[in-house]
A and B are shown apart, each in its own frame.
Chain A
Amino acid sequence: MQSTTNRRVFSKEEWEKKLSQVQVDRRDLNLLVMNYLVVEGYKDAAEKFSEETGLDPGVDLKSIAERMAIRTAVQRGEIDKAIELVNDVNPLILDSNPSLFFHLQLQKLIELIRQGNIEQALKFAQEELAPKGEENPVFLEELERVMALLAFEDRATSPVGFLLQQSQRQKTASELNQAILTSFAQEKDPRLPNLLKTLLWAQEQLKSKAIFPEMDINTGVLSDPPRE
């Protein structure tokens, strides 16, 4: 138990009073929201938000649509289509990012296995992926993990079953989304999570020197500060 002596105490009333005095510009909050919509790729919502607030989305909304089409393709397991679409946007994205390209191909292999196209999967793995694995031990390990799927009768419940889950597609889709954003020289992370991290950091810093009502970032509710 930390000693509470010498720590300043802010009661909930005091803190709430202070909160009510802080002026936050509506426009600032809108900027945060717009940033989230754009980076996460909610094109329609970003468009509507721009209309309702008069805020410039800061990017060509068409580029969001492209990104979303690509993301959707990966999430549906249509990897060839996704690759085609990325190359339409900018062939350099995959050319200059071997690790990303390899992950897309791995995802394609996973999809072939999921469909039960075992023969095709083996051929694809041997011809396209194995040579890359020979050059790169990390790639090889990743490839072996996917190939392990073939060893199990009931793949979904096997130790590598997670590869068949939707979250694996999400992971690949996110990696691709970030690479495309980077290629546009656009931010790839929304700012809101960083704001929350800063809030948690600030609470920890203050906790070492003061007692005050902390906020649960999930609910936005202030706790009652512990009694002295």
Chain B
Amino acid sequence: MQVYQETLERRFYEDLQVPVHGCVIGNIPSEVLSKIPCAWCNKDKCEYLELTKKNLCLKYQGPGKRNEDAAAARTLFPVPSCCAIFYFEIKVVSAGRDGFIGIGLSAANVSLNRLPGWESNSLGYHGDDGNAFRDSGTGTPYGPTFTTGDVVGCCWNLMKGVVFFTKNGLALPIAFRNVAGILYPTVGLQTPGEIVEANFGGQNFIFDLLTYAKQEKLDLMSRIYGRQLYLEDNKLMNDILDYLVHQGYTCTAVSFSRDTNQGEWVNEELQKAVSRHSICSLISHGYIDEAMKEMEQVYPNVCQNRKVVFQLLCQKFVELIRKGKVDKAVELGKTQLVELVTCEDDSENASYLNEISSLLAYEDPSNSPASYLLDYSKREAVAQILNDAFLQAEKCPRLSRLESLVKHLQVLLEKLVTIQDAEASLLSLQDFLIR
């Protein structure tokens, strides 16, 4: 049993998805994605530093005599506040004369003549003594020293507000807690010959960031999934049934309602669903005339809806062209469609009519720039418009409860990320859809 349990957990673990964008972990908005740290900024660096290798490599060229000769560099963009985890590494290419090298984070206003950690609003891990510094020139013993050839990383877990460092792929303990604010990846050098090269995710990290991130995500999920859930009796069952009926999966709905003893309600609702879906399925197969005929019988009110009728006739026009019945298409366009456009005075409709009319210009429309209009997805779109109109006519909610819940969750997660909830950026709807 133990073995099976482990197999199950391993499979779940492997399927677990973590959004990685270079040095940033989390589902962050695309406008933020274009502003993540990826190199040192040639303006926000001390003059003693020489910048090479696509702004990743820093070499100390100052006097290197006093503390004030220290030289720091920051990235152009700060760590995005809405991400879950941030990580970058430096390789010590050369420890130079004394190896006074610091890696960490600092705010934009921190002096560039200091190693990270010495000043307020900065923190860092220093190679010569292995000490951790925060807002002070006095460090506390933290980790091993580091020197030429070592790869050192800085990890900020924004969900927990903690920072720890790594050395040659191994995680060191947590160095700082309650870390918050707008901070930039920072590195500081102090003596001649010191050279470090940064990696902001352009290459694979030495530290196994993905495994760490997965573990953090599991942590978060077990916290959320461990909650108590108070639901009305049969809530899930009803939601499932509501969905099946709403989407017209009639056979499944009948079978499910039999197993759960909810037959009566279902029969009535299913009748409606069956007729909705038989019409929509005609459209999906391109039988527009047949669909309209059935619609006149079952939903006479919807036939008065000019917007819906226009969409249907446009699709009919497209289907005629697909079959090569250009004459009939032209006839349809000239009479009914033009009429609908003029009396509605709807610019959107008018431009769509122009769009589909362009199909007439080509000898082989399926190999023309307008061929996208012939795509079957257009049929589905019209079927969806119709389905919505039918639901409205029956005064049914447009969405099933399940769909409403899922959409609401989607919007919640999006909004949480915009207000910089680091945890939410690790979650997505896909978590519930793996495999």
Contacts and interface: CB of A to CB of B under 8 A. Distances in A.
B236 A192 contact: yes
Contacts of A92: 1
B255 A45 contact: yes
B424 A183 contact: no
Interface string A1-33: 000000010100001001100101010110111
Interface string A186-222: 1110111111111111110110011010010111101
A191 B5 CA distance: 18
B247 interface: yes
B97 interface: no
A92 B3 CA distance: 11
Instruction: Report, as a range, how many residues of chain A touch the other chain.
Output: 35 or more
Interface in A71-106: 92-93, 96-97
A33 B243 contact: yes
A151 interface: no
B403 interface: yes
A97 B405 contact: no
Contact of B259 (A45, A188, A195, A217): A45
Interface stretch (A48-56, A113-121, A122-130, A169-177): A48-56
B411 A26 contact: no
Contacts of A182: 1, 4-5, 8
A24 B225 contact: no
B224 A196 contact: no
A45 to B, nearest CB: 4
A32 B247 CA distance: 14
Instruction: Report, as a range, how many residues of chain B touch the other chain.
Output: 35 or more
Interface stretch (A36-44, A131-139, A141-149, A156-164): A36-44
Contact of A42 (B4, B256, B401, B408): B256
A53 B252 CA distance: 10
Contacts of B427: 198, 202
A19 B236 contact: no
Contact of A199 (B7, B243, B247, B408): B408
Contacts of A47: 255
A51 B243 CA distance: 16
B213 interface: no
Contacts of B414: 18
Nearest to B225: A194
A33 B402 contact: yes
A187 B8 contact: yes
Contact of B240 (A33, A48, A194): A33
B432 A206 contact: no
B231 interface: yes
Contacts of B11: 185
A196 B4 contact: no
Interface-centre pick from B11, B252, B427 (highest chain A CB count, 10 A): B252
Nearest to A219: B401
Interface of B: 1-2, 4-5, 7-8, 11-12, 221, 224-225, 227, 229, 231-232, 235-236, 239-240, 243-244, 247, 249-252, 254-256, 258-259, 401-416, 419, 421, 423-424, 427, 429, 431-433, 435
Given A19-B407, A206-B419, 13 more contacts: A18-B411, A24-B403, A24-B410, A29-B247, A48-B254, A49-B249, A49-B252, A182-B5, A193-B229, A194-B224, A194-B225, A206-B421, A218-B232
Can you list the 8 inter-chain pairs with the closest CB atoms, starting with the nearest? A220-B401, A202-B412, A96-B1, A45-B256, A49-B252, A48-B252, A48-B251, A185-B7
